[in-house]
Amino acid sequence: MVRLIRYAPGFACLSLLALIAAGCGKQPAARGLAATRPVAARPAAAQPQAEVGSPAPAFTLATSAGEKIALGSLKGQPVVVNFWASWCHFCAQEAPDLEALYKQYQPQGLQLLGVGTDDKAALVRKAKELNLTYPIGSDPEAARTYGVGGVPHTFIIDREGKITASLVGARPKAELEAEIRKVL
């Protein structure tokens, strides 16, 4: 009995540290390089997930510039679809690389869509802060359709409309460029 009492405070301390390390709090956490605040609650079996090698699920993005861009209308062009959020630190880190690649490869037909998962006004403010020129809009439903669980999550789509890469988390510019060059 004496041993149990003597070790109980240490056990309680270790248990508390384990819970903290496991991320039991309600704040969004970053695991790896993707912020894992859920896009929206969804039943696991009810939503399709976009997979490499499959046709990219259709969606129409209402952009901050007032345009409507249907993904299907971009068939024949390589497309990067980047799911992001205004509150996401890793998204903000990756955005300048995406912008540079967009400017570099747009003359070769590259299209880039920034699909936000949160409030449109917040996305517009963040896009201005980051000096983004590619089309952006808010479409949490598209994120659910693609099975996005955390952001950033980038899909590379070839000229035939098939997904060639699904990149979870912020990626180095060289890796993004290598995937884009495969579909040019």
- List per-residue pLDDT tens for the chain, 184 residues long: 444 444 445 544 444 334 333 333 333 333 334 554 544 444 444 445 699 999 999 999 999 999 999 999 999 999 999 999 999 999 999 999 999 999 999 999 999 999 999 999 999 999 999 999 999 999 999 999 999 999 999 999 999 999 999 999 999 999 999 999 999 9
CB half-sphere exposure, 125, CA atoms < 13 A: 8
Q: What is the dihedral of CA 72, 131, 35, 94, to 10 degrees?
A: 80
DSSP secondary-structure letter at 32? T
pTM equals: 0.76
In this structure, what token pair is assigned to residue 115?
Answer: 């699909």
| Topology of the domain comprising 27-183 | Glutaredoxin (3.40.30)
Boundaries of every domain in the chain: 27-183
**Cβ–Cβ < 8 Å for 75, 157:** no
